[in-house]
Amino acid sequence: MALLYSLCCVSFSALVIVALYVSPVVSTSRRVLGDYGKLENGFRVTLKHVDSSKNLTKWERIQRGIKRGNHRLQRLNAMVLAASGDSAEVQAPIVAGNGEFLMDLSIGTPPNSYSAILDTGSDLIWTQCKPCTQCFDQSTPIFDPQKSSTFTKLSCSSDLCEALPQSTCSDGSCEYLYSYGDYSSTQGVMATETFKFDSVSVPNIGFGCGEDNEGDGFSQGAGLVGLGRGPLSLVSQLKEPKFSYCLTAMDETQKSLLLMGSIASANESLGEMRTTPLIRNPSQPSFYYLSLQGITVGSTRLPIKESTFALEDNGSGGVIIDSGTTITYLEQAAFSVLKKAFILEMKLPVDTLSSTGLDLCFTLPSGSTQVEVPKLVFHFDGADLDLPAENYMIADSSSGVICLAMGGSSGMSIFGNVQQQNMLVVHDLEKETVSFVQTQCQNI
């Protein structure tokens, strides 16, 4: 089975990153009830890609996204080594860190605005704070806790302090160190503050007030908002354990969205929902693990052992879904089979000369406006995800290539954000499920 991939209307029909810049909007003015109270309704925020403000070509943005994805994959592998005790070099617990999308919010009273990296692969919420012993440059003023009437340091005995992977106690206050596995880290004091998402104010959110922040990848924003499964994350602290997002492709003019709380549910009018259970990994409790049972290319289910994607007893392996990784990475044995299937099905010459950063590219036929690409289906437990062609193929007519937006990995596999384009992806921590609805984001 094959799909037609059009080259006549767009040269990058399945671009790896979303470069949309839109200001945050909120659909409700409701507030949060009480200390750590439950969110009454929820809020929605539009997202911009980390490279949206840069003067880059589309292919340059693709290559930057792939490079970040490779770094993120290396962090994840370092985490597995640390958790299994196989790495003697690890000095502190490692988390995933960084991401591909930014959200705007405010902290403090009066509110101080900044952009934060959105990360489904970690938990801690943090921003740079005065006095800074070491801080990277950011476009907005560094948060000054002395100028906020709602800033309160957390005690060493607080639940959030105890949930940190590494903390110390100084004068009764909780101090943290969060390491991202590539010499990137944030260090400072844990506190609570009022966070504002446009007109929605949320009091008493625990966050890291970072006074020593270093490493590559944070300078796109002024901090990070973790959306992982652990107690430190925003979704856990809101006590409304549901969020969803819809990410658009770069060549679209519509907005990408994040929805938090009860409004994150999918409307039946959007289309058919496909739901798969979340799997828990005790050694990596923040990640959203899924059960991938197989892959179909064209009309053929690939001869990949289901155990290839299994979560091992020591916490290695498995498949996570991640909005902060650009392309999908499959365990190398599975990717090799997938690659051979695409070479067989595409019936185009394999390109070995272009420096795209992608593992498999084909030479486009001269003068063609359409090419046939094989159908691609991911078989998750209870959810067969039939992907549109633009969610796994990237064409560059100027370079004359069309490439598979996937790569190989050693151990852990990642279902990346290109494959999630124009889907409402609903994370439900209470039901422990992830649901997919193929839709256009403007319909939400």
| C-alpha to C-alpha distance for 242 and 137, rounded to whole angstroms | 33
User: Burial of 231 by CB count in 10 Å (0-12 exposed, 13-18 middle, 19+ buried)?
Assistant: middle
Which one of 119, 123, 198, 396 is the catalytic residue? 119
Tokens found for residue 240:
């409304």
Judge whether 428 counts as a catalytic residue: no
Q: Is the C-alpha dihedral spanning 410, 416, 419, 424 positive or negative?
A: positive
Of 104, 123, 198, 322, the catalytic one is 322
Q: Is 386 a catalytic residue?
A: no
Residues taking part in catalysis: 119, 322
